[in-house]
Amino acid sequence: MFIGILTVLAFATASMMVGKYGSGPGPLLSAIGGLLGGKADDPLLATVLWNVRLPRVMAALIVGAALAAAGATFQGLFRNPLVSPDLLGVSVGASLGAVMGIFLSLPVLLIQLAAFAGGLIAVSIVYAVGSLIRRRDPVLTLVLVGIAIQALIGAGISLIKILADPYDQLPAITYWLLGSMTAMTRFDVFSILPAVLIGLTPMVLLRWRMNVMTLGEDEARTLGVDTLKVRLVLVAGATLVTAATVSVTGIIGWIGLIIPHVARMLVGPDFRRLLPASMMIGAAYLLVVDMLARSIASIEVPLGILTAVVGAPFFLWLLVSGRRGWE
């Protein structure tokens, strides 16, 4: 745990120094001194650090940890290491909300609120439809309903992209769907923090019940766990943190899929250790991806592209070498 925290802090410090306006440890310490009341050697660098890079670093820490925690929760609930937080349509629902906001030329804050509401509404629809279908396996029912709702919402997004202004709205929609933290501000960070903390709370409080849920539906009920209520609370928490992060960064895929699996290989399936490990690895991973996004090319590369470049080959490797069942 201690090593993980130090690693995350090291990546966060490195991220503060990487960018078009580069800096080293000395200027960074000088900027910190300026913030504490001293005089910074380079006032412009200090402005860049505190107004541009610090919000991005904070956002990467929160978003990476939140998506990884949501992924670990979904994988435990569905007893499958190959599912991700957008399984029930939260990401595509948030995308539809944001796309609608951009299409209607709403202010940035209202676009974020529309994305947040869209993610929650999509999952609510999935759960409502799933509750109407009486099958022996409620988990499989939710997955199938989620796939259908995702396809329907995806069609709506495609329709809006066709109707959007190709010179103004369409580029903004496309860039948002690729995921980015370019315009991140401190207000954005603090606006999602309460929702993330609220969503993470049940994951922490119910961590031992998560271990029981991974045994299977019948076994968990035999051990006295109300599987319906526990699943509903945990899905709501994972949905809340996913919708909150997607609302300000756009879709940053694959983190919730690959990071929990990496953490599981390192610390095992015990959710009491898996959750903090996933959060630390997710935060460090997104910090590294964000550093690459603003340094490997003359223009900033959207985060969704880089996470897909890493995530897709890793996913294929899981399919080829993964275990036959959940153990």
The pLDDT of residue 265: 87
Output the domain CATH number for residue 137.
1.10.3470.10
Q: Average the pLDDT over each of 34-38, 124-128, 144-148, 260-264 and give the range with the smallest value.
A: 34-38
Q: Judge whether 245 and 196 are in contact, CB under 8 Å.
A: yes
Please state the rounded mean pLDDT for residues 173-177.
Answer: 90
Assess whether pLDDT exceeds 50 at residue 230. Answer: yes
The pLDDT of residue 323: 52
Amino acid at 114: A
Q: Average the pLDDT over each of 230-234, 252-256, 321-325 and give the range with the smallest value.
A: 321-325
Assess whether pLDDT exceeds 60 at residue 322. Answer: no
Buried b (16+ CB within 10 A) or exposed e, 248-286: bbbbbbbbbbbbbbbbbeebebebebbbbbbbbbbbbbb
How far apart CA 255 and CA 64 sit, in angstroms, is 7
The pLDDT of residue 32: 66
* 326, part of any domain: no
The pLDDT of residue 131: 81
Percent of the residues in the chain that have a pLDDT greater than 70, as a whole number = 88
pTM for the model: 0.89
Q: Judge whether 160 and 100 are in contact, CB under 8 Å.
A: yes
Q: Which residue has the higher pLDDT, 275 or 37?
A: 275
Helix, strand or coil for residue 311?
Answer: helix
* 248, part of any domain: yes
The pLDDT of residue 81: 73
Please report which confidence band the pLDDT of residue 324 belongs to, taking 50, 70 and 90 as the band edges.
very low
Please report which confidence band the pLDDT of residue 325 belongs to, taking 50, 70 and 90 as the band edges.
very low
Q: Name the token pair of 192.
A: 């999602």
Please state the rounded mean pLDDT for residues 231-237.
Answer: 90
How far apart CA 300 and CA 308 sit, in angstroms, is 16
Please report which confidence band the pLDDT of residue 195 belongs to, taking 50, 70 and 90 as the band edges.
very high
Q: Name the token pair of 233.
A: 């609370």
| Residue-range definition of the domain harbouring residue 25 | 2-321
Number of domains in the chain: 1
How far apart CA 234 and CA 69 sit, in angstroms, is 11
* 327, part of any domain: no
Please report which confidence band the pLDDT of residue 77 belongs to, taking 50, 70 and 90 as the band edges.
confident
Average pLDDT over the chain, rounded to an integer:
86
Q: Which residue has the higher pLDDT, 171 or 297?
A: 171
Per-residue CA distances from 325 to 84, 217, 239 (Å): 17, 15, 25
Phi, psi of 14 (to 5 degrees): -60, -40
The pLDDT of residue 30: 63
